[in-house]
Amino acid sequence: MEGYSRKDEGCPQLLDLIPKEKEWLTKSAEEKQTRNGSSEEKQLELRLGPPNGDWTIKNKNISREKDHESLLPFGYFSPWSSSSGYQVKSQKQTTPFLQAHGQLKESSQPNPAKTAVPNSSSSSSAQKRTAPTPVVGWPPIRSFRKNLANGSSSKPVSESQNAVGSKISSEKPIENSPKNLLVKINMDGVPIGRKVDLKEHDSYEKLSFAVDELFRGLLAAQSNFSAGGIKNDEDGGKAITGLLDGSGEYTLVYEDNEGDRLLIGDVPWHMFVSSVKRLRVLKSSELPTLCRGRKHGKRSLDTSPK
């Protein structure tokens, strides 16, 4: 490591603007100005002008500009000017940040010119819901990492005893942009689980419907088996209803990326999708009493040891 550490006397005064404690957020502009007087600091001051010298003309401008109350002491360049008339296609560059924020919050289609990346593992987030950054190649992380960051829920992080390897090999997060989001779903009383693709649904209601479709038949077959062949309904099974509000025989819960079990429905759908790891359909009667307290807006069903 190069020995470039210099003691405080070498540090430019700009750094001394910040006190050592955490109150740097509240430092006022006036305090800053009083520090900028002494001559020894002049050489270390950040100045206008080309890097190759010619400071003489600029000094006067600097002392004048310091009188302006401004966190940008050298307010020479207006951030909003665009001298070469350059217009960024997406308008992000020259618009105030608020606008940029607003733009980014929508799940917008990226500018057509920017989607000309043929790679299927393209980081274009046009397909993703509510992507905060609909810009090709931003943030600058590799595809491997982008897939992890997509909240791919195919990894069995839960505490259950899963055999490793084969079960998840078909959905390794390392693969290119997942077109589906398959999560396991198990139902109380049904030994064989199913998988449901969350990308095919965009609301809790639709998910509930899908769950009903997945398990209705299985449930019916089981009860047929145990009841010695007596059918419930002609169409092959009783509908599974009331999954979302606790009114039915079963309730839908999920496990998130922290291993907690939570009731479906508390958070917006896209948030749910990004944190869900697996689903469970539990018998409503066996659910513990809901605790009323809120933890980050989630209602926890159990206090699993962490």
Partner 1 sequence: MINYFPEEVLWHVFSFLTSHPDRNAASLVCKSWYNVERFSRGKVFIGNCYAISPERMISRFPRVRSLTLKGKPHFADFNLIPQDWGGNVYPWIVAMAKGSTNLEELRLKRMVVSDESLELLAKSFPNFKSLVLVSCEGFTTDGLAAIASNCRFLRELDLQENEVEDRRGQWLSCFPDSCTSLSSLNFACLKGEVNVAALERLVARCRNLKSLRLNHAVPPDALQKILAQAPQLVDLGADSFVHDPESETYNKLKNVMQKCSSIRSLSGFLDVNARCLPSIYPICINLTSLNLSYAPGIYSKELVKLIHKCKKLQRLWILDTIGDKGLGVVASTCKELQELRVFPSDLHVVGNVAVTEEGLVAISAGCPNLNSLLYFCQQMTNAALITVAKNCPNFIRFRLCTLNPTIPDAVTMQPLDEGFGAIVQSCKGLKRLSVSGLLTDQVFLYIGMYAEQLEMLSIAFAGDSDKGMLYVLNGCKKLKKLEIRDSPFGNMALLADTGKYETMRSLWMSSCGVTFGGCKTLAEKMPRLNVEIINEGDEMEGRPDDRQKVEKMYLYRTLVGPRKDAPDFVWTL
Q: Which residues in the 73-112 window bind partner 1 by CB under 8 A?
A: 74, 76-79, 81-84, 86, 88-90, 92-94, 97, 100-101, 104-105
Structure tokens, 169: 């090999």
Q: Does 246 bind partner 1 (CB under 8 A)?
A: no
Residues 36-55, mask of contacts with partner 1 (x by CB under 8 A): ----------x-x-xxx---
Distance in Å, CB of 203 to partner 1, minimum: 17
Q: Does 132 bind partner 1 (CB under 8 A)?
A: yes
Q: Does 225 bind partner 1 (CB under 8 A)?
A: no
Q: Does 17 bind partner 1 (CB under 8 A)?
A: yes
Using alpha carbons, list the distances in angstroms from residue 211 to 39, 126, 144, 195, 205: 75, 28, 31, 10, 10
Distance in Å, CB of 61 to partner 1, minimum: 14
Distance in Å, CB of 134 to partner 1, minimum: 11
Distance in Å, CB of 77 to partner 1, minimum: 5
Instruction: With beta carbons less than 8 A apart as the criterion, state whether 245 and 205 touch.
Output: no
Cα end-to-end span (Å), the chain: 40
Contacts with partner 1 in 248-267 (CB under 8 A)? 257-259
Burial class (CB in 10 A: 0-12, 13-18, 19+), 130: middle
The helix (run of H) or strand (run of E) holding residue 63 is: helix 58-66
Contacts of 205 (CB under 8 A, 6+ apart): 244
Distance in Å, CB of 42 to partner 1, minimum: 14
Q: Using CB under 8 A, which of 165, 228, 293, 297 touches partner 1?
A: 165
Distance in Å, CB of 22 to partner 1, minimum: 8
Distance in Å, CB of 63 to partner 1, minimum: 18
Q: How far apart are CA 244 and CA 185, in angstroms?
A: 15
Q: How far apart are CA 275 and CA 127, in angstroms?
A: 18
Task: Give me the sign of the Cα torsion angle 93, 97, 99, 102.
Answer: positive
Amino acid letter for position 121? S
Residues 178-217, mask of contacts with partner 1 (x by CB under 8 A): ----------------------------------------
Q: Of 175 and 249, which CB lies nearer to partner 1 in the complex structure?
A: 175
Tell me if the bond preceding 268 is cis, omega within 30° of 0.
Answer: no
Q: Of 148 and 227, which CB lies nearer to partner 1 in the complex structure?
A: 148
**What is the total count of residues that contact partner 1 (CB under 8 A)?**
99
